[in-house]
Structure 1
Amino acid sequence: MSRQLTFDLAGPPASSRSDFLVTAANRDALAMLDRPELWPQGRLLLLGGPGTGKSHIARFWAGENGALRQQAAALRIDALDDLVPHDGALVIEDAHRIGLAAGAEQAMFHLWNLSVERDCLLLLTAQSPPRDWGSRCPISPRGWRL
């Protein structure tokens, strides 16, 4: 019986733009990421399945733009004032999970409006489109114009 050899190839996590492999599948998303003046109201939703590089992109974009990063399920209304900068940038990851956390979807609704008021670029990542997020907010995600 043969025995498989294993190698410990652990290294630092790839988190910079130079570590990201640009392909035909993600080229357009990266081009749009670099043109925030084309984002509707300064907002961009980056969609993709698990393991497609959304978090990697969000990490290097946040670093390049001095943006804070926050998990959508951890959003709280009382923390938005400190989270959303004036004339800055913010990344909300896993936005598809806002319907699963108490208070997160209301916080997302207020964050959405506050980001426009403060001229803050808002990059969201999600595995599914807003219509599938299970939101119970009075305004549907389609009304958020993603």
Structure 2
Amino acid sequence: MAKQLNFDLPVRAALGREDFFVSPANALALGLVDSWPNWTSGKLVISGPAGSGKSHLVHVWAKVSGARIVAAADLTEADVPDLARTPVAVEDVHLIPDDPAAQTALFHLHNLTLAEGNTLLLTGIGAPPQWGLSLPDLLSRMQGAPVAVMDDPDDMLLMAVMAKQFGDRQLMPSPDTMAYLVKHMDRSFSAAALVVKALDNVSLSEKRPITRALAKRVLEGE
């Protein structure tokens, strides 16, 4: 059977507070975010594996606090004075261990934001000592921040995360398909994202609904 060509269409992620599924794996992180603006030292680090919902929590906080969001790799010293005027979130700090300019910019952003009486939220995979930062002054500032850890998913969270990812793609697998996936796939947020994308691609190319049989094929690597 001829397969339909498919394209990587943009996925519209739902990032509202009402879209964030709370479980024991992320409840502490959510609680610490909700405790704003009463953060110790005016800053907080959210640490967790890829796909665990760090960026979602950042957007939840930004809506409440009026913060701006910037990727650590995009930071420049020229941006610092403007960004420090409001609360600010810096995402994926673990990606800049080999970028001295970005580390220097983050160091100055940290200092100026707090000096202006604003708050700073940072995210990364692993705790700050694992980020490989080479600027000693920046590393000491990061190690001085409270850390909200997002753990690996339990069954309910993994199913909720996948349901959200399918929903972002406007797909709705049956409940038995979801249960099958959670039982048989690798138990990680990154695996969930890969499985959802693969099922979306196969479903689109073959013009088939996402069923348990299709899920079995994808997980077995056909």
Q: Do they superpose with TM above 0.5?
A: yes
In structure 2, the residue corresponding to 1:56 is in which secondary structure? helix
Task: Identify the residue that residue 104 of structure 2 maps to in structure 1.
Answer: 106
Task: Identify the residue that residue 137 of structure 2 maps to in structure 1.
Answer: 139
Is 1:16–2:13 an aligned residue pair?
Answer: no
Aligned pair count reads 135
Q: Are the aligned partners of 1:74 and 1:101 in contact in 2 as well (CA < 8 Å)?
A: no
Measure how far apart 1:140 and its partner are: 5.4
Matches within 5 A, 1:30-45: 30-45=30-45
- Which one has the bigger strand percentage? 1
Q: Are the aligned partners of 1:99 and 1:133 in contact in 2 as well (CA < 8 Å)?
A: yes
Matches within 5 A, 1:38-77: 38-77=38-77
Note closer, same or farther for the CA distance 1:136–1:32 as it changes in structure 2 (3 Å cut).
Answer: same
TM-score (normalizing by structure 2): 0.57
Gaps in structure 2 of 5+ consecutive residues: 1-9, 146-222
TM-score (normalizing by structure 1): 0.84
Q: What is the CA–CA distance in structure 1 between the aligned matches of 2:56 and 2:105, rounded to whole Å? A: 24
Is 1:124–2:122 an aligned residue pair?
Answer: yes
What per-residue deviation string (whole Å, max 9, x for no partner) do you get for residues 59-94 of structure 1? 121122111100001111121001111xx3111000
Measure how far apart 1:100 and its partner are: 2.9
Measure how far apart 1:37 and its partner are: 4.3
Q: What is the CA–CA distance in structure 2 between the aligned matches of 1:65 and 1:143, rounded to whole Å? A: 22
Which structure has the larger Rg over C-alpha atoms?
2
Q: Are the aligned partners of 2:100 and 2:134 in contact in 1 as well (CA < 8 Å)?
A: no
Q: What is the CA–CA distance in structure 1 between the aligned matches of 2:109 and 2:134, rounded to whole Å? A: 16
What percentage of aligned pairs have identical amino acids?
35
What CA RMSD, in Å, does the superposition of the two structures yield over aligned residues? Answer: 1.8
In structure 2, the residue corresponding to 1:22 is in which secondary structure? coil
Note closer, same or farther for the CA distance 1:90–1:51 as it changes in structure 2 (3 Å cut).
Answer: same
Q: What is the CA–CA distance in structure 1 between the aligned matches of 2:38 and 2:81, rounded to whole Å? A: 26
In structure 2, the residue corresponding to 1:109 is in which secondary structure? helix
In structure 1, the residue corresponding to 2:96 is in which secondary structure? helix
Is 1:94–2:96 an aligned residue pair?
Answer: no
- Which one has the bigger helix percentage? 2
